[in-house]
Each structure stands twice: as C-alpha cells, then as structure tokens.
Structure 1
C-alpha cells in the first residue's frame, strides 16, 4: 500500500505514457499533473502535448480484482454502445482498458469530460435522469456481473458490523448498544430483500455522480457498480422523506416508467437501503484508516461523538424499518 500512498507525478506520467503508447504516437504528457478529489482511488488530470487532457485513475490495491474492474469497464462499454451518456475508459496498448503500473497498481485512462453538478433538480431534469436511469437499467439487467458485490443486508450490513466490532474503533461505551441496534435493523430488513430482483446498477448514483453539460446529463464514477435492486439508484437521486421529496421521486419514477417497468413495491426498501449505507460508510472509513488521507478527512472518526451521532441515525432507521408509515 505504501506505493499507492506515495504515488509521484513521475511514476504517474510514465505509467500513462507507456499505457497510451506515447513512444509510437508521439503524444506525450506535458508534465502538468493535477490531483483530483477522490478518497478511494488516486485520480489525476494530465495535460498532453497535443492539447488534449486525460484523467487517469489508479485503483486502490486490495479493493478490486482485475475481473471486477473489467466488469465495470465492460458495463461502461455497453452503455456507450447503447448511446447512454457515460464516461468509458480509453483502449490501451495492451489491448485492454486496464493496465498495471510497475508497482503493481491497476490503473485506467479516461477522456477528460467537462460538466457541472446540479444539486437541486427541477422537474425537467428529474424526468431526464429518470429516462436515463431506466435505459441504464435496461442494459444492466441484460446480463449479470459475476465478480461484483451484491448489495444485501449480509454484504453491506453484517460484514460491516463484523469488521467494525473486531476493529475496536467503536467507542467502548457505545459498542454493545451499536451492535444491538444494527442487529435489530438487520433482523427487521432481511425478509424485505427476499425475492427482490437484482441486476447491475450504478450503485452510488447520488447527484455528485450525475454531471450536466448545459441541459444534458451523463453518469460518472461506476466504481461502486453492484448487483442490486433498481431502487438503489432511484433513492440516491431523491434522498428526502418529506412531501416534496416524495413528489420529486414520483416525477422521477413516472419518467423511468416511460422506458422501463418499475416495481413500486420496492420503494419499501428505501429506508433499509439508507440504513445499510450508513453502516457500510463507517466500515469503509474504518477499513481505510491506515491511509493518511482518511485520518485528515475524518478527524472525529472513532470518537464518542461520532458513534453517538451515528447511533442516533441508526435508532431513527430502526424505527422507520420496523414500522414504515410512508411509500
């Protein structure tokens, strides 16, 4: 992992030039290397001497296997072929979209695509995203991902609890209570996932991963592509619980239904999925705690305050998943 933590511009530029075949094409990096915001991976924007720009992603060692990454890349290629706007990796000289640095770190190279984040979507934008999501799911449901994670109470919930419990990072005063609340949530939600169809979805389809060029949307960052119910992507676009959020979600779903059937009974999974996301997020931080970037980004992690606030969230989730009062 030390090689990943200490990636240098020289190593990055050299790896990318070799992967793109700069010695044959004559197109080389100018030396400008801008680190982009990414916690999980190391992502850089590079300027090339033909005035183009590329973005290279060095994948965190141990998080994904080669097969898992290539399944993500394959999904992106299918989306592009179906004319669904997304950002797919460039082909490399090794006849793949995935290369390996001299340090053994997997990386890919993407075209630089400009866009902006829109944090509040009006109805027209919600309708556009709904149609795009349905088209994405049509492709996602066409085949399974054999190597990607399935989003279930076991994978996102129980495994997260087991890791956190063993890590010793939960404040000792709250550890037993945390375990009891999570166990109660999992017991309540596990039956709700039975017989729910899952297929390839974006997995982390929040508004920060939907970029806009003028009034046209496209999807970004498929790192967390999973096998999951369609509602996993839907609820992350409209996350609220109030009446306005329910109205916006209805706009999104109606537009989705113009391109693909949506099982509205799966809306019952929104609060269970929200609970699993809370658990999974804390386990994600704990698993990365040896990375100095995480210690700087989450200075309160592991403190009594952090776990007290998370328990308050989980208590609320337990109430909601035990006695849902909305659809």
Structure 2
C-alpha cells in the first residue's frame, strides 16, 4: 500500500474497526483536522466521546508508534495533563485490514493564547514536568529532530519536486543550500537531546476549566528542550523576551533550562520552514493535500518562499533572544 493511501479506509471499515474493540458509535464520524493521519470523533453508546486515529501507512514503524504511546503513559501516570491512548486487552496500537489505529478519549477545550502570560506560565510548568520525564531516558526507535541525513533528505525532496518552477530552480536551489549548510554547521550535539512533545504550538494546547492539556504527540522526537518553547513566542523582541522569561521561570520549578539553547531558535525555525515544504512535496500525491494546499503548486508560492528563506538566512545571523537579568 502506498504511504499516502487512505482510499480503502471507508466509513464501513472505520466502524468495523471501532466495533472490533467493543465500542459502538451512536453518532456519525466527525472528521477532525488532520492531514498526516485520518482522525475521527464519535459518541459511543455509553454516552462518552472518543477519538480514533488511523495512522498513515509506512510513516512510523510499530515500534515508533508504541514509543509515543508509552511516553504518554509515563506522563499520565505522574498526572501530567496529556491524553493517553486507551488500551484494549493491554494493547494501545490496534490493527484492522492493514490499517493501524488507536482510540483516545475525546478532550475538549480552547486553544492557548500565546500572548496570555498566565497561560504561558502554566505551559512552562507543564513543559518542565514533561521534559523532566523526557530527559530520564531516550527514545530507542524514534529519530532525532534534526540530523544531517534529515537535512539532506529535505533538500533532495524539494529540488526534485516537479512543482518547483524551472525559472526559479537556480534561485531556490541556491538559498535552500545556504540554509542547509548553516543547519549542518550548527553544533546540535552540544546540547542535551531529550524526548519532546515535538510540535508544541497553540493548536496542540487546550485550555480547559481544570487547566492546560497537551495533545497530539504524533511528532514526538529527540531534540533540544527549546524546541517545545520557541513556537510560543510572538511579537517584537521585547515581547518575545518577556514571554520567554515567563515560560522559563515556570519551567525551572521542575527542571533546569540551559539558556545557551536560545541560539538554536532560529536554526530550529529554519528547519521547520524547509521541513514543512518537504512534507507538502512528499505528500502531494495524497488527494487531500492537493485539495487543501493547492497554492503549493502556484509559482507565486515558490517566489514567496525564496524571499522568506533569504529573510531567514539573515535571521540566523541576528543575536539570540536573551533571558531577563534574573536568569
């Protein structure tokens, strides 16, 4: 089965898979916003809401998915607010007709407000707790966030993309390789690599009456702690440094943050930009991507990306953010 293939995942297959573990939907299947996997919410006949996630074939191995589940269980056992998968006969990774899937309890809430210092304070505490657990042992099967091999794969994917206009190839090739070389020259090994959330942005942070809940560790990997912080920063430099100080002060109630990692923020941002582009290129044969990201095939998009990468190259030479003097 091609790794983009979900055409055989019909509603009948989904319902049969769910019923096979003893859950019986009393509602329709509500498709949730996920392009990498296929995710549906439903109300069961027990009156509870659940979310079922069908994993994209060939993206993660069974061992890599299980590591995510086990990490979530470690966190949940310490009352850290994450959503761990349900287990059926002791198993959290399930299979039906070649599709691997997992069932989670459905958790509601509203997105975290990145400019709300009280919410950032709460996030800092929870990240401190998560990273303390994440640093206790490494992943065995999940890869590191940034590696020379990953960078080379991204460059190869983008330069071979048939959507890259021929007239822009040389300009794009030049700036992309400048960024890639700067990323390879970054001394990633100088910083501890811990188990991370990996994709810690406002869409994966739910504010509820009982507090903050972190969801969707599908991109959990090994990497520097600051990866789970920098996407929370917004506004001008002064605002970002205030937000950062709020996060770190709360974070350090549970574990130490190395301020030297702040120099990794722009390299991490650069990696995320090009990795996102490569992800779109790699998934382009999935009809859902062609429908939802049609602008990726437009010449104007690639022109804008050339300019964005030039700006990002300049940002790599800017001094890093600083923590407030009390740090």
- TM-score, scaled to structure 1: 0.92
Residue number among 207, 220, 231 corresponding to 2:226 in the alignment: 231
SS of structure 1 residue aligned to 2:190: coil
Please name the residue that 1:30 is paired with: 26
| CA distance 1:271–1:239, shift in 2 (3 Å) | farther
Residue number among 49, 55, 59 corresponding to 1:53 in the alignment: 49
SS of structure 2 residue aligned to 1:110: strand
SS of structure 1 residue aligned to 2:92: coil
| CA distance 1:69–1:281, shift in 2 (3 Å) | same
Please name the residue that 1:281 is paired with: 276
Are the counterparts in 1 of residues 44 and 50 from structure 2 also a CA contact under 8 Å?
yes
| CA distance 1:191–1:34, shift in 2 (3 Å) | closer
Per-residue displacement from partner, 1:231-261 (whole Å, max 9, x unpaired)?
0001012245532122111111111112111
Matched, 1:299 2:301: no
| CA distance 1:83–1:132, shift in 2 (3 Å) | same
Within a 5 Å distance, the mapping from 1:106-185 to structure 2 comes to: 106-185=100-179
CA distance in 2, matches of 1:88, 1:192: 34
Deviation at 1:120, TM superposition (A): 3.5
Residue number among 91, 100, 103 corresponding to 2:95 in the alignment: 100
CA distance in 1, matches of 2:137, 2:156: 31
Are the counterparts in 2 of residues 153 and 276 from structure 1 also a CA contact under 8 Å?
no
CA distance in 2, matches of 1:194, 1:210: 29
Please name the residue that 1:13 is paired with: 15
Deviation at 1:156, TM superposition (A): 4.5
Superposed CA RMSD? 1.7
Q: Return 277-286 or 174-183, whichever deviates more.
A: 174-183
Deviation at 1:302, TM superposition (A): 3.0
CA distance in 2, matches of 1:326, 1:33: 45
| CA distance 1:239–1:75, shift in 2 (3 Å) | farther
Matched, 1:209 2:204: yes
Unmatched segments (≥5 aa) in structure 1? none
- TM-score, scaled to structure 2: 0.92
Deviation at 1:85, TM superposition (A): 0.3
CA distance in 1, matches of 2:170, 2:147: 20
Are the counterparts in 2 of residues 240 and 246 from structure 1 also a CA contact under 8 Å?
no
| CA distance 1:72–1:289, shift in 2 (3 Å) | same
| CA distance 1:17–1:123, shift in 2 (3 Å) | same
Aligned residues: 319
